[in-house]
Structure 1
């Protein structure tokens, strides 16, 4: 039996379908983050992007997200190695670091729901949408302790 593609290929060698399949659907990268201007420290909030569907933990307009949401970041093999806010459980980060995927990842379990069952997604933990945030100060009311 051959090894799975994420163990035999670098991120750069993956085709588009393999790359997209690495996303575990946790939704953590779709939460608003705050950065301390003095220290550069990143703080997650429980505020979802205006395109984020908190029930499915998926983008409501994935194909057009970059043109709709000015600060949406397209993950690439180059930037996943440098983005400080990528969660420690992120498959892109894990593969970039030469580590294996967790047992709840759909490529291991064969089921996209195991991430939610394992409590590793933000399903049920999003408290607001950025479209509801009138004042930037409102985000502080939704700050999380550590990663979601």
Structure 2
């Protein structure tokens, strides 16, 4: 009887034990975490907008200067194995969230599909749906319901 094929690293390696390459490859390039969010001060309800951080390249849904992002945008949140579960604004489709919850990646994730374009083809990314914060105006005018 043949050995079972090796399981992919995201099924066998806890987030806190992943090496840098594994960790970074979990990002599917959707850009959803780079959208501005609003939180109601009274109800604590979270609202997503279609307004992207000024550092998000809207053509490829990647940070323009990932290495220096926190210097450029001081409130940019760096995802870590320790904060993943506390960040209630990570979309349900986020690989970091999914793996942290013991779930598998979706078919369109580049690690599964082998193609970084499938996240866009599946309509998961913000490509063609987001605008730059430089052109947005009031965030309240840009609340969307296509992010969960």
Bucket of the pairwise TM-score, normalised by the shorter protein: over 0.9
Deviations 1:73-107 (A, max 9, x none): 00000111110000000000000000000000000
Question: Number of residues paired by the alignment?
Answer: 144
The TM-score with structure 1 as length reference comes to: 0.94
Which residue number corresponds to residue 65 of structure 2?
A: 61
Q: 2:50 aligns with which of 46, 53, 63?
A: 46
Query: Which stretches of structure 1, 4 residues or more, deviate above 4 A after TM superposition?
Result: none
Query: What aligned pairs does 1:1-148 form with structure 2 within 5 A after superposition?
Result: 1-126=5-130, 128-133=131-136, 138-145=138-145, 147=147
The structure-2 alpha-carbon separation of the partners of 1:93 and 1:5, relative to structure 1 and needing over 3 Å to count, comes to same
The gaps in structure 2 that reach 5 residues or longer are none
Root-mean-square deviation (CA, aligned residues, Å) is 1.1
The gaps in structure 1 that reach 5 residues or longer are none
Q: 3-state DSSP class of the match of 2:108?
A: coil
The TM-score with structure 2 as length reference comes to: 0.94
